[in-house]
Amino acid sequence: ETGVTQTPRHLVMGMTNKKSLKCEQHLGHNAMYWYKQSAKKPLELMFVYSLEERVENNSVPSRFSPECPNSSHLFLHLHTLQPEDSALYLCASSQGFTGEGYEQYFGPGTRLTVT
């Protein structure tokens, strides 16, 4: 248990559906991240939020829409996804961008299958 939770753990959705992934951190961190982990590929950073402000959008298609209402919660809204978007989506948090708080702590992930 790393202090970062993700729901749901598993999600199956059709290409026309709209769904959301939720991440919550209980560590008092100020930065949150979305990563995508596909088979046979390294983890890919998708989005970075610092103090609820998006500081990085790593060329992610617009069918993925992040939302960070406060420093403890992060959402990833999904719509009109493609089968190649099937992957493990990992959320992470860190204390911030200064000092010794560089370590990122990960949630258990959401296994997404797009049919």
Residues that bind another protein (CB under 8 A): 2, 31, 33, 41-43, 45, 48, 50, 55-56, 58, 88, 90, 92, 94, 97, 102-109, 111
- The distance of closest approach from Cβ of residue 80 to another protein in the complex, given in angstroms and rounded to an integer, is 26
Q: In this complex, which beta carbon is closest to another protein, that of residue 16 or of residue 40?
A: 40
Tell me how far, at minimum, the Cβ of 71 lies from another protein, in Å: 15
CB 60, CB 33: distance < 8 Å: no
Q: Report the alpha-carbon angle 38-49-77, nearest 5.
A: 55
Contact yes or no for 6/26 (Cβ under 8 A): no
Q: Which is nearer to another protein, 16 or 99 (CB)?
A: 99
Closest approach of Cβ 81 to another protein, in Å? Answer: 20
C-alpha to C-alpha distance for 33 and 94, rounded to whole angstroms: 9
Q: Give the Cα separation of 33 and 90 in Å (integer).
A: 8
| Shorter beta-carbon distance to another protein: residue 18 or 26 | 26
